[in-house]
Amino acid sequence: MFDFDALSQAIARQTVLCVGDLMLDEFVYGEVSRISPEAPAPVIAVQRSEINIGGAGNVARNVAALGARCIFVGLIGDDAAGKALAAELAKERLIEPVLVRDSSRPTTRKVRFVSEHFSTHMLRADWETATAASGEIERQLLDAILPQLARADIVLLSDYAKGVLTTGVIGGVIAAARQLGKRVIVDPKNANFAIYRGATLLTPNRKEFSEATRSEANSEAEIAGAAHDAIRIADCDAMLVTQSEHGMTLVTRDGDSIHVPALPVKVRDVSGAGDTVAAVLAVVLAAGADWEAAMRMASAAAAVAVSKNGTAVVTPAELRRKILPHAFLAAEEKIVSTPEQLEDQLANWRKQGLRVGFTNGCFDILHPGHVKVLTAARGACDRLIVGLNSDASVQRLKGEGRPVQNERARAEVLAALEAVDLVVIFDEDTPLELITRIEPSVLVKGGDYTREQVVGHEIVAANGGEVLLVDVLPGFSTTLLVARAREGQT
């Protein structure tokens, strides 16, 4: 359960210490229309090119794009690519680069040749030395990293297996971070998870997890089973396995398992999607969110990242649009007028594997107490349906003179809120029939109810859902507001 705006504000107060393999990403865009007369090779007619801060540097860029500060420690060579990276990092207002130079190795550089029209990669050329950093460079890296730990709210190790995160660097950073009570997130590359021992969270993709655990990892159950041994080996609190279009699964040391589906998106380029996930997890967890909220934010951010070309970052505005997509619809588009419309929307959401929430009320005069409940309800699900009592229903429940506003006006005000994805007007005294039809994963009411008083709690529980009670704001009541207004008129 989370409030997107409050979480965004908290993120802006966080500092992430990111350590990892820095690289220069170059993208050359063009089209192939002929074969070279010199050799049987395609000729790309270059139309444009761009450079980006890649590898662990892209993690840092994503941290900064989300509004948090990032202290970034990386390794470069004494070459043009290293100078280009230093110059690009210097332009980033929220990134504080701490770069160690190693003249014995080149700066990692990757050049991708991409079809401008089809957004497909045709060729990649790499310049790199993937061996572990020397003992002297390892000492310089630790000397650069350890003094920064006290300033950080969370530590993120981004391992691309290019030599920065040696066993000594990993062990030294994790031990020092734990001593200071700092959590450590690792995006691992080494199949021996034991070298990351003591980290808080490991975030391998399915292929990396499968290789490290020697399991198929084709289902949530297989991942959960293999993760327990992996958690024990790594002595970590949790393991998050990302699975591209199949979403992501988190398993904790206590055995709890959470799965978040991937959001539907047209994939343009998967470059750097893992960087985005790691960055979002770091800033959201640092800001105080729980595992599920962090996963939902990361899943939404990944969907944004892969819809872009190149090594992309995600902004808070883009993240909001992905998490709260219906907030950008006109209010009337979110009001359901027929059962068929509701069924069609539910079918679409279920097909996407989205978690549907439900709350209800008269909402005669919308006040801050209502907004708190609606915001909390939306934070607990992917899509929120609000059941709204019809005029006839309100009159039966509240008596003569109510509602103050007719059902259409009340529906439009509710639909204008970004926390609300759908408004359904019902004519019965209770929403029981509507809840039976929707079968929500989470049912939300104000804390002035007990669980047993919430209409439909049995239906939700029988379907494996949960009932969430939100503390109400004292002093806010539609009945009191109406009474005060009427007193003022007399």
Q: Determine how many CB atoms are found less than 10 A away from the CB of residue 483.
A: 11
Peptide bond into 403 cis (omega under 30): yes
CA angle 188, 189, 191 (to 5 degrees): 100
Q: Return the structure tokens found at 20.
A: 């990892």
Cβ contact 186:217 at 8 Å = no
- 1-30 burial: b if 16+ Cβ within 10 Å, else e: bbbbeebbebbeebbbbbbbbbbbbbbbbb
User: Which residue in 118, 116, 125 sits closest to 45, CA to CA?
Assistant: 116
Q: H helices within 180-216, ranges in order?
A: 206-213
**What CA–CA distance (Å, rounded) separates 304 from 316?**
11
Cβ contact 439:456 at 8 Å = no
Q: Return the structure tokens found at 315.
A: 């902004």
The residues, ordered by sequence, that sit 6+ positions from 306 with a Cβ below 8 Å of its Cβ are 265, 267, 268, 269, 270, 273
Q: Determine how many CB atoms are found less than 10 A away from the CB of residue 292.
A: 17
Q: Locate tokens 């934010």: which residue?
A: 297
Q: DSSP letters of 116-157?
A: TTT--EEEEEEE---SPPPHHHHHHHHHHHGGGGGG-SEEEE
The residues, ordered by sequence, that sit 6+ positions from 321 with a Cβ below 8 Å of its Cβ are 327, 328
Which phi-psi region, left, alpha or beta, contains residue 190 (left: φ > 0; alpha: ψ -120 to 50)?
beta
Which is it for strands 154-158 and 15-20: parallel, antiparallel or unpaired?
parallel
Question: What 3-state class would DSSP assign to 51?
Answer: strand
Question: Among all residues, which ones are annotated catalytic?
Answer: 275
**What CA–CA distance (Å, rounded) separates 238 from 199?**
9
Sign of the Cα torsion 159, 161, 162, 168 reads positive
